[in-house]
Structure 1
Amino acid sequence: MSSHQQFESLKLEALPFLWHPLEDPATNPFPATLPFELNHDAVSGIVSQVPDPAVQEVLAASYGKGTYFEGLMDATGIGAEYAQDFVKFIDMSISSTGTATHTALDIGCGTGYLLSLLKEKGMEVLGYEPGFAAIGKFPVPVEPAFFPSPAIAGRTFDLIAAFALVEHIPDPRDLLRAMARYLTPQGVAVLAVPDCEDQISNGDLSMLIHEHYSYFTLETFSRLVESAGFETIEVRKSGFGGMIYGAFRRASSPPPRQPVAADDLLGRVAAAHARLREYLERHEGKEIGVYVPGRAVNSLYILRDEIKTADITLRFFDDSDYLQGRFFPGFATVVESRAELIASPPDALLIYSYSFADRIIANLGTSLEGSVEVTLLANLLDGRA
C-alpha cells in the first residue's frame, strides 16, 4: 500500500500556484494554477498533499527563481515578530530541560536573522539555506545547500531549530531522522509549523499551498515527530502568527499510538463552500473586499464561476507594503492598502484570517462603521455570520 493511505482524498484540477506576488499577472513565468491532491493518513492523522512529479518540477524551477511571500524572519516588520516569539519558545525549552546549549543549527535559516539572535546569546551557530534569502544579510555562517551535507559530517549540535520547514518536505520523517542523527544525546530540536487546526476543523482550503506537503494540528505534529525517533517535551500554539511550536529530544523508541478515527474532512469542505456560496449570493451585484487575500485565493478560485454569475467585483486588501500594488497568481485584482480601503470602501469586507483578525479589526477602528458590512471568516464558516 502506498504511504499515502487513501483514507480521504480530495482532488482539485486547478489551484493557484502561489510562488511570488506578481508585478503583472500577464508576465507570470509559471502556470497560474496547478493540480492539487489532498489525502488523510489513517495512522498519523496528518492531512497531506500527494506528491505530483509535474508539480514538483514547477516547484523546483520556482525555488531557483526565489519563492517569496512574507513571513521570513527578519530584523524588521512581521518577520521580527515571528522571530521574537520563536526565540521565547526556544529559551523556555532550553530552560525546562536544563540543556547546556553551546552549538546551534538552523535548518532552512532564511535570512539568517534567527541565527544572529542565537549568536548574541553566545552560541556557536550554523545555518542551512539552499535559497537566496540568507546570503550576506547577517554575519552568520550559512551553508548554501540542502541539509544534511558533507560540511557537517561528524558534528552534532545542542540545539537544532527549523522554523516553517517541515511542512515543505514530501517525506518529513526522513528529515526528522536526519535531525536526530546530528543532535547531541541531551540536545533539543525546536520546530515550528503552520497551525492548520482551525482550517481543518472548518473544512477551509485556505491552508493549501503547493509548497506545503503537510498540514498539522497539535496532535498530528507530535505524532509525526515521535514516529521519527523523538519524544515530545512540549507542543503548543505560538503566541504570534498562527504557528505550532514543538520541543523534542531523541527517544530510544517511539511511544505507542493508536490509529486516529475516521475524519469527515470532505464533508466539512463541502459545508464551508456552501456557506461561502450563500455569502456570495447575498452580495449579488456588490463589491466585496477581501482582507488577507493570500488566504482566500484558493476558495475564491474554486468559486470563480459563482462570483462571475453573481456579478461580484472583488477587491483585495493587505497591510503588507510588499504585497500592495501586486497581484496573486490566478487573479487580475491588485492588492490595495488599508488607507485605500478606508478612502474608497467596498460594500462588504471579508477578513480572511484566523491569526490576525483581531489586529485587523483594531487597526480599522471605527473607520468603516455604518458603511461596510464586516465579516470574519471564522464566524462565516461556523454559521455565526
Structure 2
Amino acid sequence: MNLNLPFYVRAIDKDEEYDLPHVLPFKLFEDENGLIRQQANDELNELLKRAYLKGSLFEGSLSNESGNIYFDSFKEFVERHSVKKRRLLEIGCGSGVLLKSVSKNYQKAVGIEPGISEVKESQYEIVSGFYPDDLEEGNFDTIIHFGVLEHIEDTYGFLQSHLLKLAQEGVVIAAVPDCTEFLLEGDISIFFHEHFSYFSETSLEALFLNCGLLPISIQKFRGMLFIAAVRGSEGSLPKKEEHFKEINPIIKAKISNVESKVKEFSESEIAIYPCLRGINYMSLLGLTGVRLIDDSSQLIGRLIPGFSKEIESFRELTENPPRLIIVTSKTYKDQIVKRIQEQDSLRDTRIEIL
C-alpha cells in the first residue's frame, strides 16, 4: 500500500521557518512475523534524523500535556516489574520527567535523548545522543522506553541490542500504541512517518520473543500497550496474526467512507476534532483548509505544516459553529460526542465518527 501522507513531526508557529516537506510517500507492508510496518528509505531516515536533532517530540510524549494521562500508570507498571533497583536506563527520555521520578528508586539512572542538553544530577543523568551508539558500556537492571519502539526502523536489532546492556536478571519495559482496532478497520489516522511499526498485542509479543525476550506481562491502557520482558529463548513465537493480511482493500474502503462523509461540505464548513487523527484523510482528499480543533495548549494557535488554518480551541469551535464535526478519537469518542451535544450552539452541527 502506497500513500502520500503529511510529514508531520510537530506543530509550528505562524511565522516560523519550516524546512521539512509537508507531504511524503508512505509505504506499508506486513513482515514475516505479522507486524504491520512502514518501509524505510534513505530520504525518510535523513529527514527524521533532522527532525529529532531539532528536539522533535511527537505529541504524546510523557513530558507533553497529552501524555500526562499515561504517566502514573506507566510509572506504576515500571515499579511493579522492576526486581532489582541498582541501574536504570531510559531510552528516549525526552526532558527527563519520567527518569527523574523513577530514578528515586535506583542507585543510578541514565537517560538518552537526541537534540537535548546533557544533564548530570546526583541520582540521574541525561546523555544527548542516539541509542546505542552514543551510550557508554554498562549493564542495567531495568531498561525502559515509552513511545519509542514504534519510531525505530530496525525494531528487531534495537530490541536485541538491549540484551547486550541488560543485567542477567534484568527486565525490559516498554509502551507502544495499541493499533489493533485501527488496523482491523483500515484506519489510516494512526500512520505517521515517525512510526515504523504498528503493534497489536500478538505482534508485540511475537517481536519480543523473536528477539530473545520473554514477555511476563502485557497490559492495555487507553490505547497503549505496556509490556515487561526478561531474557528468554529466541524462536518461540505465537501464531502469526492472519487478519491483517488483506489490509490494503480495507484501507481503500475506509478512505472512500470518509470521502462520502465530507463530499457535500466545503472545507470551511468542516472541523476535525481532535485534529491530529484527521490530517491524513484531509490531506489525501485535498481538504487542507478544514478547521482543526484540539484541547492541547501545546497545539492551539499553531499550524500543522501543509494546512492553512491555525488550530482552534473547543471554545472557538462553539463560538463559530461548523456544519460538520468529524470526531477522530477512538479512546475518547463518547466523551467528545457528549461534550459537543451539550453545546446549544452546536445543536445544528452534524457529528460524524471517523
Partner SS, residue 57 of structure 2 = coil
CA contact (8 A) 2:139 2:165 kept: yes
2:329 maps to what in 1? 353
8 Å CA contact retained: 1:72, 1:79: yes
**Is 1:38 aligned to residue 52 of structure 2?**
no
The equivalences for 1:232-311 within 5 A come to: 232-238=215-221, 240=222, 242-261=223-242, 263-283=245-265, 287-304=269-286, 307=287
TM-score using structure 2 length: 0.91
For residues 296-325 of structure 1, the C-alpha deviation after alignment (integer angstroms, 9 at most, x for no partner) is 111111111xx59xxxx6211000112111
Cα pair distance change 1:133/1:243, threshold 3 Å: farther
User: What residue number does 1:6 align with?
Assistant: none
What's 1:11 paired with? 2
Task: State the partner residue of 1:176.
Answer: 159
Which residue of the partner structure matches residue 141 of structure 1? 125
SS in 2 for 1:152: coil
Partner Cα separation in structure 2 for residue 34 and residue 66 of structure 1: 21
Q: How does 1:318-337 map to 2 (within 5 A)?
A: 318-337=294-313
Deviation at 1:249, TM superposition (A): 0.5
- How many aligned residue pairs are there? 352
Q: 30-39 or 79-88, which moves further after superposition?
A: 79-88
1:82-161 to structure 2, matched below 5 A, reads 82-94=70-82, 99-132=83-116, 140-149=124-133, 151-153=135-137, 155-161=138-144
Partner of 2:68: 80
Distance 1:167 1:286, change over 3 A: closer
Counterpart AA for 1:117: S
Structure 1 residue 334 displacement after superposition: 1.4
Q: State the percentage of identical aligned residues.
A: 28
1:242-287 CA-to-partner distances (Å, cap 9, x unmatched) read 2111111011333144444361101110110121111012446871
- For residues 54-113 of structure 1, the C-alpha deviation after alignment (integer angstroms, 9 at most, x for no partner) is 122222222222223322223x7333322212112223333xxxx233221101111111
Cα 1:253–1:267 change in 2 (3 A) is same
In structure 2, how many angstroms separate the alpha carbons of the residues matched to 1:38 and 1:25? 34
Distance 1:137 1:340 in 2: 43
Report which stretch shifted further, 215-224 or 15-24.
Answer: 15-24
Deviates more, 1:333-342 or 1:261-270: 261-270
Q: Could you tell me which amino acid in structure 1 is paired with residue 103 of structure 2?
A: K
User: Runs of 5+ in structure 1 lacking a partner?
Assistant: 1-9, 378-385
Could you tell me the TM-score, scaled by structure 1's length?
0.84
Given the superposition, is the C-alpha separation of residues 180 and 285 from structure 1 closer, same or farther in structure 2, using an over 3 Å criterion?
closer
What is the identity, as a one-letter code, of the residue corresponding to 1:320? S
Structure 1 residues 195-234: Cα deviation after superposition (integer angstroms, max 9, x where no partner): 1112111101111111111111111111111111111111
**Structure 1 91/121 Cα, relative in aligned 2: closer, same or farther at 3 Å?**
same
Quickly say closer, same or farther: Cα 1:224–1:294, change in 2 above 3 A.
same
Contact kept in structure 2, 1:318 and 1:324, CA below 8 Å: yes
The two structures, once aligned, show a CA RMSD in angstroms of 2.5
Q: Show the counterpart of 1:28.
A: 18
Q: How far apart are the structure 1 equivalents of 2:122 and 2:257?
A: 47
CA offsets per residue over residues 350-380 of structure 1, 9 Å max, x none?
Answer: 1111123244345546115522222222xxx
SS of the residue aligned with 2:208? helix
Contact 1:46 1:216 in 2 (8 A): yes
Q: Secondary structure at the match of 1:237?
A: strand
Q: Does the CA-based 8 Å contact 1:35-1:55 persist in structure 2?
A: no
Counterpart in the other structure of 1:375: 352
Partner of 1:227: 210
State the AA in 2 paired with 1:44: N
- The residue type paired with residue 302 of structure 1 is L
Alignment partners' CA distance in 2, 1:333 and 1:64: 27
8 A Cα contact 1:110 1:131, kept in partner: no
Q: Is the 8 A contact 2:38 2:197 kept in 1?
A: yes
Distance in 1 between the 2:127 and 2:77 partners? 25
Q: Secondary structure at the match of 1:341?
A: helix
**1:72 and 1:111 in contact (8 A); partners too:** no
Which 5+ residue runs of structure 2 have no aligned equivalent? none
Question: CA offsets, 1:306-351, max 9 Å, x none?
Answer: x59xxxx621100011211111122112110011011111112111
2:15 and 2:38 map into 1 onto residues whose CA distance is: 26
Pick closer, same or farther for the CA change 1:345–1:184 going to 2, 3 Å.
same
Structure 1 residues 252, 258: CA separation in 2 closer, same or farther (over 3 Å shift)?
Answer: same
Equivalent position SS for 2:29? strand
Indicate how the Cα distance of structure 1 residues 103 and 292 shifts in structure 2: closer, same or farther if over 3 A, else same.
same
2:187 alignment counterpart: 204
SS across alignment from 1:374: strand
How far apart, in 2, do the equivalents of 1:134 and 1:111 lie?
10
Pairing 1:218–2:201 present: yes
**Paired residue type of 2:285:** L
Q: Contact 1:292 / 1:353 at 8 angstroms: preserved in 2?
A: yes
